Amino acid sequence: MLFFQHVEFLWALVLLPVLVILFINIVKWKRKTAKKLGNPALIKMLMANYSPSRFFLKFLLIVCAAALSVVGLAGLVTPDKNQKVHRKGIDLVIALDVSKSMLANDIKPDRLERAKQVISRIIDQSTDDRIGLVLFAGRAYLQMPLTIDHGAAKLYLSAASPDDVPTQGTVISQALKMSYAAFNPNDKTFKSVLLISDGEDHDEEALSTAKELGKAGVMINTIGIGSPDGAPIMDEQTGTYKTDNKGQMVISKLNEKELTDIAHAANGTYQLYTSTDQVATNLTSALKNIGTKEAGSVSSYSSFKQYFQYFISVALFLLLIEFFISERKKSRIAVLVSLIIFMLPNNILTAQNAKKYITKGNEAYKANNLDEAESEYREAAKNENVKVTADYNLGNVLYKKNKLEDAVSAYNAAIAGTNDNVTKQNAYYNKGVAYQKANKLPECITAYKNALLLNPSDEEARQNLQRALRQQQQQQRQQQPKKDDKDQEKKQNQDKDQNKKTQPQDQQPKPQPSKLSKQDADEKLKSLEEKEKALQDKLHKVKGVAPDKPEKDW
């Protein structure tokens, strides 16, 4: 009996009629455009080398390849009826931390690789359980829904990396919520979540979320990966250890307390990673206390005959044929292929050189060799692959060299060259710092506002914005009295001139007595001193923010 393992992929076939409609519209558009160009006979002569039949053949090959690919992804199989098995087990969702802090190597080769080894061993020992996989960092994603296909689970696990989650950080509460959403809501028991992390959480809702899951009948077991003393984090993009904006090396430490509290809140256990076999065995023993259920809806066969490879192979073959068919009657595909092969190594070499410039620039920056760092970053900025990073780092160098206008230009280039909101927010923040140092308060205030629009929770940008606004108000107040004093002085001079004209030469103006009594003057002086003291206290309460903002993106 033939059937598809992943029927949901067949929905992609509805896109084929859309492709047909697009093709028809393109053909009509080509005909209308040809008629508008001029004399039909002349146009026909100019298009003598164009073959409509080849254009149609190319489209037909693409449509057939797309259809075959969809059928292949759906997984057509034939089960072995003699090896049908009924499974009894639990539903286990594994929440794996893939933030950059998991790249710390206090556990060799690094925390993430050791976590993968533990999960792989647990999957091997959970033969009758359904396994799901959630990857999380600054956000959580359901990488694989609950399944008895443990081979697929290991495949997803092996490919897990920090690149799978674009938003960095560690938000455990979202991981727990996403794990709970993967369960069948009709099942009140037989559910467990395994959380593997270093516990370096940037979220305060993790414990309350764990308590809610515990009340819903979900057991949460936690495994701590790392050491309390911590270790530096390797930045894969630069090949150096990660530092904050102050140049200090980032040390990621294991937070055992939070992982222990989460486990206890949901009737689970916490384990510190010591060895792969020991941790996997202890967890398997703990899961036996949940009990097992008959997985009737997922009764399966122990072996299948797969047919997807045939569909995928034919699809690739059709695409290969389409690639070498030209719409022209005289094809120059061979020349084009040779040109691409010739240029490809140069492009790869250029990208590698640009990455080396970034690395050298970082090393020079840490050594406070700003001229060399500027030179390396400018060379790297010539390559589009790393231009955004080079422009951003160049802005930091120029800021330290007190070339504030050039630094702002570099930050603007980084903003214009990226769609990543995190990079934009950091560049806007640094623009604000540069403008503030240059005493250009209106531009400084605009930059901080743009940074807060991208990240409203950035307290440092908010505090710097408030400080800039206060400075602007103080400047305005200082300028206003000067103007009033000039007007008053001008008026007094006019009065003196008038008095000189009207008074006799030997008569001197009498001094005007003060209209304030001594008691009134003392009270006003005391009131001014109290206001000054209150203003100083308020300024002391506002935390000063250093120009170099430490970014927690690990």
pLDDT band, very low/low/confident/very high, at 494 (cuts 50, 70, 90): low
- State mean pLDDT over 108-119: 92
Tell me what pLDDT residue 217 has. 86
Spatial CA neighbour of 104 closest among 225, 237, 234, 273:
234
Tell me what pLDDT residue 481 has. 59
Tell me what pLDDT residue 211 has. 92
Tell me what pLDDT residue 151 has. 86
**Which has more confidence, 322 or 489?**
322
Rounded distance, CA 529 to CA 367, Å? 48
Q: What is the pLDDT of residues 115-135, one digit of tens each?
A: 999 999 999 988 888 899 999
CA angle 495, 496, 497 (to 5 degrees): 90
pLDDT band, very low/low/confident/very high, at 294 (cuts 50, 70, 90): very low
Tell me what pLDDT residue 135 has. 94
Residue 231: its H or E element: strand 231-232
Rounded distance, CA 427 to CA 412, Å? 8
Rounded distance, CA 148 to CA 89, Å? 10
pLDDT band, very low/low/confident/very high, at 496 (cuts 50, 70, 90): low
Tell me what pLDDT residue 245 has. 72
pLDDT band, very low/low/confident/very high, at 188 (cuts 50, 70, 90): low
- State mean pLDDT over 269-280: 92
Rounded distance, CA 386 to CA 405, Å? 22
Tell me what pLDDT residue 508 has. 38
- State mean pLDDT over 447-465: 87
Tell me what pLDDT residue 202 has. 61
DSSP, res 200: -
DSSP, res 2: -
DSSP, res 109: S
Q: What is the pLDDT of residues 352-394, one digit of tens each?
A: 677 788 888 888 888 888 998 898 888 888 888 788 888 989 9
Tell me what pLDDT residue 52 has. 82
User: In which order are the strands placed within the sheet that holds 218-224?
Assistant: 140-147, 130-136, 91-97, 191-197, 218-224, 270-272
* Residue 350 structure tokens: 């250029």
* Structural domains for the chain: 3-80+308-324 (no CATH), 85-298 (3.40.50.410), 338-461 (1.25.40.10)
- State mean pLDDT over 59-74: 90
Give the Cβ contact number of residue 345 at 10 Å. 9
CA distances 269 to 95, 175, 224, 261, 288, Å, are: 15, 18, 11, 9, 13
- Beta bridge mates, 194: 94, 221
Q: What is the pLDDT of residues 320-359, one digit of tens each?
A: 998 888 877 654 444 445 445 444 444 555 656 777 888 8
pLDDT band, very low/low/confident/very high, at 297 (cuts 50, 70, 90): very low
Q: What is the pLDDT of residues 228-264, one digit of tens each?
A: 888 888 777 777 887 877 778 888 888 899 999 999 9
* Residue 46 structure tokens: 């100019």
Give the Cβ contact number of residue 265 at 10 Å. 19
pLDDT band, very low/low/confident/very high, at 518 (cuts 50, 70, 90): low
Q: How many helices (H) and strands (E) does the chain have?
A: 18, 17
Tell me what pLDDT residue 503 has. 45
Q: What is the pLDDT of residues 214-229, one digit of tens each?
A: 998 899 999 999 988 8
Q: What is the pLDDT of residues 520-545, one digit of tens each?
A: 667 767 777 776 666 666 555 544 43
Q: What letter represents residue 232's amino acid?
A: P
CA angle 421, 424, 425 (to 5 degrees): 85
Tell me what pLDDT residue 150 has. 87
Contact 322, 69 (CB under 8 A): no
pLDDT band, very low/low/confident/very high, at 103 (cuts 50, 70, 90): confident
Residue 42: its H or E element: helix 40-46
Could you give the percent of the chain with pLDDT greater than 70?
A: 76
- State mean pLDDT over 438-464: 88
Backbone angles phi, psi at 219, to 5 degrees: -90, 130
Q: What is the pLDDT of residues 134-172, one digit of tens each?
A: 999 888 999 999 888 888 889 889 989 888 888 877 889
**Phi/psi-derived region of residue 226, left when phi > 0, alpha when psi is between -120 and 50, beta in every other case:** left
Tell me what pLDDT residue 167 has. 81
Coil/strand/helix, residue 84: strand
**Which has more confidence, 38 or 387?**
387
Coil/strand/helix, residue 132: strand
**Which has more confidence, 40 or 80?**
40
- Beta bridge mates, 243: 249
Tell me what pLDDT residue 6 has. 80
Tell me what pLDDT residue 225 has. 92
Could you give the percent of the chain with pLDDT greater than 90?
A: 22
**Which has more confidence, 232 or 37?**
232
* Residue 437 structure tokens: 């140092």
Rounded distance, CA 468 to CA 448, Å? 9
pLDDT band, very low/low/confident/very high, at 509 (cuts 50, 70, 90): very low
- Beta bridge mates, 280: none
pLDDT at 106 over 80: yes
Rounded distance, CA 42 to CA 190, Å? 77
Rounded distance, CA 175 to CA 210, Å? 10
